[in-house]
Structure 1
Amino acid sequence: MERGLDVWVRERCVPPDEDELAGLAREFQILITLLTDPVTERVLSSGIRMVAQMAGGYDNIDLPAATRHRVVVTNTPDALTESTAELTWALILAVARHIVIADQYTRQGRFKAWDATAFLGAELSGKSMGILGAGRIGTRVGEIACAFRMSLLYYDLVPSERLDSLGARHVSLTEVLREADVLSLHLPLTPETKALIGEKELRLMKPSAIIVNAARGSIVDEDALVKALKEGWIAGAGFDVYEKEPKVHPDLLGMSNVVLLPHIGSATREARSAMSRAVAENVLAFVEGRRPPNILNPEVL
C-alpha cells in the first residue's frame, strides 16, 4: 500500500466468530468490520487499536468496551443514506401494489386476460407516512414521500428540523402507530428499541396499514408480526432485515402479503464504493494521527 500499511483480506463469506476475531485482534492493529462481526469486549481487549466499521449501524460493536480499552471506532453513516432510502421505497411500493406476486403470476403463464379485480393494491397519494427514527435515512424517506403527496408524521426523541420544514408532525409513538398508512422503521438497535414493535403496538395500527423495516430486524417481534398478518391487524409488510438474521421466520416465507429481501439496503455500486472510501479515509486519518471523520468515541483520542 502507498501509505505503508500491511493489509490482509479475509475472503470467506461466512461471518467470523468471536474466537476468530479475537485472534485477528491480537495479530493486527486495525480491524475493518461488517455488521455481522461480533466485536465483543474480548475482541476489543486483545490489543486492537481501531475498529473501522463498514456500515452505518454499529450494534455489533460493544462501544462502551471499546472506549474503556481506548479502541477507536468509526462507521460510514453518510454513504448509504440514499441507497437504503430508495430500497425502503422499493419495499413500500412492492407491498402496496403486490409487485412480487404479480410478477410470479405472470412468469408462471397464468396471465390470460386483463382482470378488473386482480392484484388490487393501495394508492399512496394522500395517505399518511409514519416514520420511526428521524435520522439521515428516515428523513430521506420522508422527503421522497412528499413526491407522493403523502402527509408526514414521525417519532423520534429529537425533533427533525428538516422533516418539520416539510410539514411533518413530531408526535408520540402511539400516534404514529394509530395514524400511519405506511409505517417505516429507521431506528438504531439499542436496548430501548429492541422488540419496540410488538403485539401491543401492532394492534394499534390500521387494518389497511403496511409496515416496512430496512433498519434492524430485532426492532420488531416477528412472532407478533406473524400474528398481526395472519389475523388481519395490518395489511402487509416489507422486510430487508430479520430478528434472527439470516434466519427468517418460517411463517413469513409463505405469506403473499409480505415482501422479503436479503438485507440489501446498501447494495448499490454507488453506496458500496462510498462506504469503502469512507472506511479508507477513517483508517488513514487514524494512522496519520488525525481525527477520523466518522469517529464514534472521540473521547479515546
Structure 2
Amino acid sequence: MTKKVLITRMINKECIAKLEKDFEVVVWPEYEIPMPREKFLEEVKDAHAVMTMLSEQVDEEVLSLAENLHVISNLAVGYDNIDLETAKRKNIVVTNTPEVLTETTAELAFTMMLMSARRVIEANKELTDGSWTGWSPYHMAGTDVYGKTVGIFGMGAIGAAFARRLNGFDCKVLYHNRSESDYAKNLNADLVSFDELLNQSDFVLCAAPLTSETKHTFDKTAFEKMKNTAHFINIGRGGHVVENDLKNAVETGEIAAAALDVFDKEPIGSDHPFVGLKNMTLLPHIGSASVDTRDKMMELCINNILQVLNGGKPFTPVE
C-alpha cells in the first residue's frame, strides 16, 4: 500500500514533487486559507505523515483518528499547536524547523524594536492620512536604541541572534532563562532574575517558546515592574501575554509602547483592542517570512517526513 502524506497548506511545488516520487500526496490547495477542521479530520484518518502549520491544532481528537500516522512535521520552531504527550504515547514522531529561521526572525525582531523606538508606524500614518502639519522640535520624537539596556526573555538561538545585532548599538544585554544559556556564550550578556530583567531594561524582548511555565508570564504584575519608558516586543507566542493587561499598561503609560508579531488568538481583525493604539506596532505573524527562509523551512519539513517514512531518524525531532 502506498503511504499517504497530508500537507495542510499549499507549499513550494518542488518540495511536493520530492514526496510524489514515492508517496500519495494530498495538499490543501490554498496558500492563505487554512484547511478546514472537518477536512483535516477526514484526511488525517489514513495519513502516514502530515505536514502542519501553526493554524492546525493537532490535539487528541486528531491523533485518535490518525491510526496510521508516523510523523507530524510542523512548519515552525514552536509546536504548542501539537499535543506532544498523546503523540509520544502513540509513538508518533514530531518534528519542527529550528535554526533555519533564526536569523530572519531575529532580523524582524530588531526591525520591530527600531520601529517602536522611532514611532515609525505612527509617523507613517500621520503622513499618509494627510495630518502632517510640518516640522517642530519634538514632533514624533521617539527614543534611542543606542546605548540602552535590552532584556531578552528566552535566550535561545533567536534570542542570541537578536543579541548579536545589539553589539553595533553598544547596548547592555540582559537575559532571563531557567539556567545559564549556552547560546549566551561570547555575547557579553548577563543572566539575571526575571524581576531584574523587567526593572532594568529599556527594551524587553520575549523570544521564548510557549510552555505551561511561560504562559501569561507578561501580566499586570510584570508590566508594573517595567520602566514607564520601556518598550515590550513579542516574537515568541501570543500566549505569553495577558493581552488586556498589556493594553492597560500601554494606555495608562505604565510602559511606553509595545511591538507585537504574535497574538493570543490569530488572526486578529480590525476590532482587536490593540488596533488603533498609537504606541502599538502590530504585524501579522511574519517573523520568518522571507522567501528564502520559508523555502528552507518547507524543505526541512519534507526531509523529516522522508527520513521517517523511509525508516530513518528525523533531522530535527522535538524531544
TM-score tier after normalising by the smaller chain length: over 0.9
Structure 2 Cα separation of the partners of residues 295 and 162 of structure 1: 20
> What is aligned with 2:60?
41
> What is aligned with 1:222?
243
* Further displaced range: 104-113 or 88-97: 104-113
Post-superposition shift, 1:6? 1.4
Structure 2 Cα separation of the partners of residues 79 and 291 of structure 1: 19
- Contact 1:128 1:151 (C-alpha < 8 Å) held by counterparts: yes
Post-superposition shift, 1:202? 0.5
Q: Deviations over 1:91-148 (max 9, x none)?
A: 1111100101111222234445332211001111110000000111111111111111
Structure 2 Cα separation of the partners of residues 14 and 286 of structure 1: 28
Q: 1:23 aligns with which of 42, 45, 61?
A: 42
SS at match of 2:152: strand
> What is aligned with 1:276?
298
Corresponding residue pairs, total: 297
- Contact 1:30 1:50 (C-alpha < 8 Å) held by counterparts: yes
- Contact 1:44 1:71 (C-alpha < 8 Å) held by counterparts: no
Post-superposition shift, 1:90? 1.2
Q: 1:203 aligns with which of 215, 224, 228?
A: 224
Structure 1 Cα separation of the partners of residues 254 and 112 of structure 2: 19
> What is aligned with 1:80?
101
> What is aligned with 2:150?
129
Structure 2 Cα separation of the partners of residues 17 and 41 of structure 1: 17
> What is aligned with 1:14?
33
- Contact 1:18 1:40 (C-alpha < 8 Å) held by counterparts: no
SS at match of 2:233: strand
CA RMSD in angstroms comes to 1.6
> What is aligned with 1:238?
259
- Contact 1:17 1:37 (C-alpha < 8 Å) held by counterparts: no
- Contact 1:133 1:154 (C-alpha < 8 Å) held by counterparts: yes
> What is aligned with 1:158?
179
Structure 2 Cα separation of the partners of residues 232 and 14 of structure 1: 37
> What is aligned with 1:5?
23
Letter in 2 for 1:5: F
* Further displaced range: 203-212 or 99-108: 99-108
> What is aligned with 2:8?
none
* Further displaced range: 111-120 or 56-65: 111-120
Letter in 2 for 1:283: I
Q: Deviations over 1:56-96 (max 9, x none)?
A: 10000001110101111111111211111111111111110
- Contact 2:199 2:225 (C-alpha < 8 Å) held by counterparts: yes
* Further displaced range: 55-64 or 240-249: 240-249
Q: 2:198 aligns with which of 147, 155, 177?
A: 177
Structure 1 Cα separation of the partners of residues 243 and 133 of structure 2: 37
Asked if residue 267 in structure 1 is aligned to residue 285 in structure 2, the reply is no
Post-superposition shift, 1:17? 5.3
> What is aligned with 2:12?
none
Q: 2:136 aligns with which of 88, 91, 115?
A: 115
> What is aligned with 2:3?
none
Task: Report the CA distance shift for 1:253/1:74 in structure 2 as closer, same or farther (over 3 A).
Answer: same
Post-superposition shift, 1:241? 0.6
**What stretches of structure 1 of length at least 5 have no aligned partner?**
none
Q: Deviations over 1:7-56 (max 9, x none)?
A: 11102443345543332221221110001101012212321221111111
- Contact 1:207 1:235 (C-alpha < 8 Å) held by counterparts: yes
Q: Deviations over 1:257-277 (max 9, x none)?
A: 101011111110111011011
* Further displaced range: 250-259 or 11-20: 11-20
**What stretches of structure 2 of length at least 5 have no aligned partner?**
1-16
- Contact 1:18 1:39 (C-alpha < 8 Å) held by counterparts: no
- Contact 1:187 1:215 (C-alpha < 8 Å) held by counterparts: yes
